[in-house]
Structure 1
Amino acid sequence: MSVLFPLLKRGSRWMVTIKGRSSHSVADYFHFQRAIVGSPESINENFVKNSLRIDQPDKAIVIEKAKQEHSIYVSELRKLIPTIVEVPADDRFPDQVYVEEPAVILNGVALLTKMAPPSRAGEIEPMRKVLESMNLDIVEMKKPGAFLDGGDVLFTGREFFIGLSERTNEAGIEYLSKVFSGWPVTGVKVPKGTLHLKSVCSLAGVDILAISNSPAGRQAWKDMESFGAHKYKQLIFPDDNGANCLFVNGVVLHPPKEEYPRSYEVWKTMKCPTVEIPNSELAKSDGSLTCNSIRIFEI
């Protein structure tokens, strides 16, 4: 059994030291049996007009194209993951298609997060109902002043890296570290203007991190390399969203050549199977591939 030692704070970073290891291999944590996705009906006029974004897109979101891209995304997940569960659409919540933010799930435990934007607070209840239907143990983040977005949570199979961003604060990171005790947790500074940690890095394989070559991406890599509990190989991408991918059951799902031609050249070097997933429309509201699902490993 893992033993949690006191949380050590290093500036804007955290480290939880542990004794003991899980009986699962690192690769096991990315062989998913279930996944949660949003409903295509949540991509609607309310989403187009009111979804949160750092900057307004140069071109308006095309609803039908966004739904088509979402359909491709879910279809590819269905080829890899046996069970896909959909969160029913609720028109009150314009960002609901981004199901990753309200929950973090590991080893049968689901942490319902507390999202900082007031417009997203109501998404917790629909997500709770889905988690209950999946018989997961639910823990709700109720600590006053604690905020956490799932998009800031990068789990590598060895440890957590969590973005300290405009959406996730120190109290939120500390709360997660207690819920998932026994795992190393390192906070990584995310600069203003970058939505989440996974906006500039993601997991591209066992012990492989896809890193954007932007200043935010390079700083994230520096922090993870300096303060993380394990060493990783990095793949460097010239585009922020070009570095965002899903590693699912031995396959990497990544953005297509048409969206990020320079980053595509990096993806071509991967030795594992890869699949291109279009995301041009949701990207206009800061959405990335990781935002659109929660993948679940069954213990």
Structure 2
Amino acid sequence: MFTTAIARTPSRSLIDGISQTPEMGKPDYELALKQHERYVEILRELGLKVTVLESAEDFPDSVFIEDNALCTPHGVAIISRPGADTRRDEVKLPDLRAALAEHYDTIEEVVDPGTVDPGDILMVGDHYYIGISHRTNDAAADQIIKILEAHGMTGEKVKVEGILHLKDDVVYLDKKDLIVAKAYENHPAFADYNKIVVDDDEYYAVNSLWINGTVIVPEGFPKTEKAIRDAGYEVVLINTSEFEKITGSLTCMSLRF
């Protein structure tokens, strides 16, 4: 169960963020701000205490705060070393470190030559799947696994190909249930899980967000919404159109623990 989250207000520089979908155009900042406010409101409605950090104008992608740290339930947070050069210094922001220090006595850090975006890290209980991608390398994964094992947790590597982050294609809900893109339907690392397989025309909906029995799902993907409801979950819908334009989705807009 989650009790706490940290989010960051979108910066006006968001419109210049990293994008894998330039054909969708740049986001509307004012609309993105309203959508983010609704996102935080939903987290609070679902029982989380949410700390919202101020915008960081020097970092267009800083609203995607999940890539700044891995927050575990066992007394340790791991500050990342993001894979994109333009995001590398986000983790040095004092308000991020102060917010983590309020909740964690032990804070570790990934160091050079490791690079990692925690959007590549899928938590299932005390086990962590770490996607090896363009943003996350073996050196970082090895460091993280060593830290996890020192605190009674485990981790393993999963090769990621053709996508930005592992959680673009695989998201854990609860009760051994995964939401997966078709490319991961038969992946051996996830053979023992129940799978909600998302059709290609609703691909963006893979990245839905489980919060204490309820799943937050992006609007406009009725087949995925129905499949999640049929699996026994309550669903809350949210419009994240402006974040989709810069390859942003639900899990990456908060740190949850």
TM-score past 0.5 threshold? yes
1:129 deviation in Å? 2.4
Matched, 1:92 2:63: no
1:37 deviation in Å? 0.8
Say which of 126, 151, 154 aligns to 2:122.
154
Structure 1 unaligned runs (5+)? Answer: 1-30
Instruction: Supply the AA of the counterpart residue of 1:237.
Output: V
SS in 2 for 1:114: coil
TM-aligned CA distance change 1:249 to 1:265, over 3 Å: closer
1:186 deviation in Å? 2.0
Matching residue of 2:217: 254
Deviations 1:78-108 (A, max 9, x none): 0123411122222111111000001001112
Separation (CA, whole Å) in 2 of partners of 1:136 and 1:253: 30
Say which of 64, 71, 74 aligns to 2:37.
71
Kindly indicate whether the alpha-carbon contact (under 8 Å) linking 2:130 and 2:155 is maintained by their aligned counterparts in 1.
yes
TM-score (ref. length: structure 2): 0.91
Matching residue of 2:204: 241
SS in 1 for 2:190: helix
Matching residue of 2:108: 139
Q: How does 1:262-273 map to 2 (within 5 A)?
A: 262-273=223-234
Bigger Rg over Cα: 1
Separation (CA, whole Å) in 2 of partners of 1:264 and 1:76: 17
Say which of 133, 147, 158 aligns to 1:179.
147
SS in 2 for 1:115: coil
TM-aligned CA distance change 1:100 to 1:121, over 3 Å: same
Q: How does 1:204-219 map to 2 (within 5 A)?
A: 204-213=173-182, 215=183, 217-218=184-185
TM-aligned CA distance change 1:133 to 1:166, over 3 Å: same
Kindly indicate whether the alpha-carbon contact (under 8 Å) linking 2:14 and 2:27 is maintained by their aligned counterparts in 1.
no
Matched, 1:201 2:166: no
Matching residue of 1:289: 250
Separation (CA, whole Å) in 1 of partners of 2:32 and 2:14: 11
Kindly indicate whether the alpha-carbon contact (under 8 Å) linking 1:66 and 1:282 is maintained by their aligned counterparts in 2.
yes
1:164 deviation in Å? 0.8
1:63 deviation in Å? 1.3
Separation (CA, whole Å) in 1 of partners of 2:88 and 2:38: 28
Matched, 1:111 2:72: no
Matching residue of 1:3: none
Single out whichever of 149-158 and 240-249 deviates more from structure 2.
Answer: 240-249
Deviations 1:172-191 (A, max 9, x none): 11111011114332211111
Kindly indicate whether the alpha-carbon contact (under 8 Å) linking 1:212 and 1:242 is maintained by their aligned counterparts in 2.
no
Kindly indicate whether the alpha-carbon contact (under 8 Å) linking 1:111 and 1:140 is maintained by their aligned counterparts in 2.
yes
TM-aligned CA distance change 1:263 to 1:272, over 3 Å: closer
1:47 deviation in Å? 1.2
Deviations 1:67-88 (A, max 9, x none): 1111111101001234111222
Separation (CA, whole Å) in 1 of partners of 2:25 and 2:57: 23
1:158 deviation in Å? 4.2
Separation (CA, whole Å) in 1 of partners of 2:193 and 2:147: 25
Instruction: Supply the AA of the counterpart residue of 1:119.
Output: T
How many residues align structurally? Answer: 250
TM-score (ref. length: structure 1): 0.79
Matching residue of 1:55: 21
Separation (CA, whole Å) in 1 of partners of 2:21 and 2:235: 30
Instruction: Supply the AA of the counterpart residue of 1:139.
Output: E
SS in 2 for 1:281: helix
Instruction: Supply the AA of the counterpart residue of 1:200.
Output: D
Matched, 1:102 2:68: yes
Separation (CA, whole Å) in 2 of partners of 1:294 and 1:237: 25
Separation (CA, whole Å) in 1 of partners of 2:237 and 2:105: 31
Kindly indicate whether the alpha-carbon contact (under 8 Å) linking 1:101 and 1:291 is maintained by their aligned counterparts in 2.
yes
Single out whichever of 145-154 and 201-210 deviates more from structure 2.
Answer: 201-210
1:261 deviation in Å? 3.2
Separation (CA, whole Å) in 2 of partners of 1:187 and 1:285: 26
Matching residue of 1:20: none
Say which of 28, 33, 49 aligns to 2:3.
33
1:136 deviation in Å? 3.8
